[in-house]
Structure 1
Amino acid sequence: MPKIKYSVVDLDETFISKNTFKLWLIFLMKSLLRSGSVKYSIKLFVILIKRLFKKISHMDMKRETLKITNENVVNLNVDKFVFGLDKYVNKNILDKMLNDQNTYWILATAAPEIYSKKIAFTYGFNHCISTSMVIDEQWNENIREIKLKNVLNYLKSKDTNCISAVFTDHHDDLPLMRISEKVYLVNPKEASKLKVDEQIKNYTTILVE
């Protein structure tokens, strides 16, 4: 029996060609307005305005947005949101997943687990590591070194620390790239490509229209 390999796939602008969290914010606002939640609609609007003018950090914005999400989950049709993302799926990566049954596919993303886990289940990922919806003192985004730590902790439960491939669009995933056997850069922006070039000598670029 062939040895199982472990590949890590980023979500935003990698498996999905759009920034799913931006789309979630739009979806959340529409859902709040449709349900008549004036209080939370205004609260979300204020948070987004503060972020627009850089009065709060991206992480603080996400934390407060996820609090609103948790308080209004009954009004959110997550299945509908995920279904709407299908047209943005990277068919190149999806084909690799479908044609490689000896690989354990891990979706690792900074996106919140309320919809990222459903995406993972829908498209056949074996596991999903994402930003927790439990907002407490230990809460943090699943990004950079934190993502690496969470991925390694999960691999440890599988009695391995080997990553056969990383698929990502962004240099934020350099911590994962450094320890992966193969790196696939998906539609990288020039700034990310330059930063990756400084540390990763061999990688494959996947360009998708």
Structure 2
Amino acid sequence: MNKEVLVVDLDGTLYATNTFHRYIKYLFLRSVESMDLILSFQILICVFFRILRIISHSKFKYYVLLFSTNKSYINSTEFIQSINVYARDLSGLYDKTYDLRILATAAPASYSKEIAFKYKFDVCIATEMSDTEYSPAFENAKENKRENVVNFLNSRGLKTIDLLITDHSDDLALIKISKNNIIINPDEKFKKELQSLDIQYKVVNIL
């Protein structure tokens, strides 16, 4: 018997916000409160470089996580509690129990894994920080996200995604290989893109 697989996105889907943007604000405020002026300055420089498009979003994320790693005053539980107001209950969007529930996100694993545990996901596939130099494969986004999810499923002897819930065109690579798709609050451009590819999907508008 094949296992039924559910894959859910985090930012804009399970949470009605970009959690990484909230995390940057959290890191900056905690660094100021802790008088860690070096990290405060590093975050400001990263933000400045990103605004000017000197660095990519992926590289921006890499350096923010690199600079903030192993800071004793950074508490993922505290951060998650601060964004509880944005959490959504998506359980009403699917009418059966899935054997494997995956939270797949470009957000940092440092707090995404705790969110996955909180909402009873079996697995969290997120952006992992490592000691290696930056590479485009660092961020669990777009094609990288699809590849990481597929590789995980293959490791479990699974072949398909039965339902994908997402809000963003960045997940188009995953949408293409999912049997069923629920798109949260899509804009007209995203809907036209899906229609042009003859992809079947269900729209759910939710606050």
Residue 110 (1) aligns with residue 116 (2)? no
The question of whether the paired residues in 2 share the 8 Å contact of 1:183 and 1:203 is answered with yes
- Kindly tell me: are residues 167 and 38 of structure 1, through their superposed partners in 2, closer, same or farther at Cα, counting changes over 3 Å? same
User: How far is the alpha carbon of 1:192 from its aligned partner?
Assistant: 2.3
More helix per residue: 1
Equivalences for 1:143-162 in 2 at 5 Å? 143-162=141-160
Residue 136 (1) aligns with residue 132 (2)? yes
Structure 2: stretches of 5+ with no match in the other structure: none
Equivalences for 1:6-155 in 2 at 5 Å? 6-72=5-71, 74-91=72-89, 93-96=90-93, 100-137=96-133, 140-155=138-153
The question of whether the paired residues in 1 share the 8 Å contact of 2:46 and 2:63 is answered with yes
Q: What RMSD in Å do the two structures reach over aligned CA positions?
A: 1.7
C-alpha distance in structure 2 between counterparts of 1:75 and 1:200, whole Å: 49
User: How far is the alpha carbon of 1:71 from its aligned partner?
Assistant: 4.1
The question of whether the paired residues in 1 share the 8 Å contact of 2:6 and 2:98 is answered with no
C-alpha distance in structure 2 between counterparts of 1:102 and 1:142, whole Å: 23
Q: Percent identity?
A: 32
TM-score by length of 2: 0.92
TM-score by length of 1: 0.91
Residue 180 (1) aligns with residue 201 (2)? no
Which residue does the alignment assign to 1:203?
A: 201
Q: How many residues of Structure 1 are paired with residues of Structure 2 in the alignment? A: 205
Point out 4+ residue stretches in structure 1 off by more than 6 angstroms.
Answer: none
C-alpha distance in structure 1 between counterparts of 2:188 and 2:182, whole Å: 15
Which residue does the alignment assign to 2:187?
A: 189
User: How far is the alpha carbon of 1:181 from its aligned partner?
Assistant: 0.7
Letter in 1 for 2:126: S
Structure 1: stretches of 5+ with no match in the other structure: none
The question of whether the paired residues in 2 share the 8 Å contact of 1:3 and 1:102 is answered with no
SS in 2 for 1:208: coil
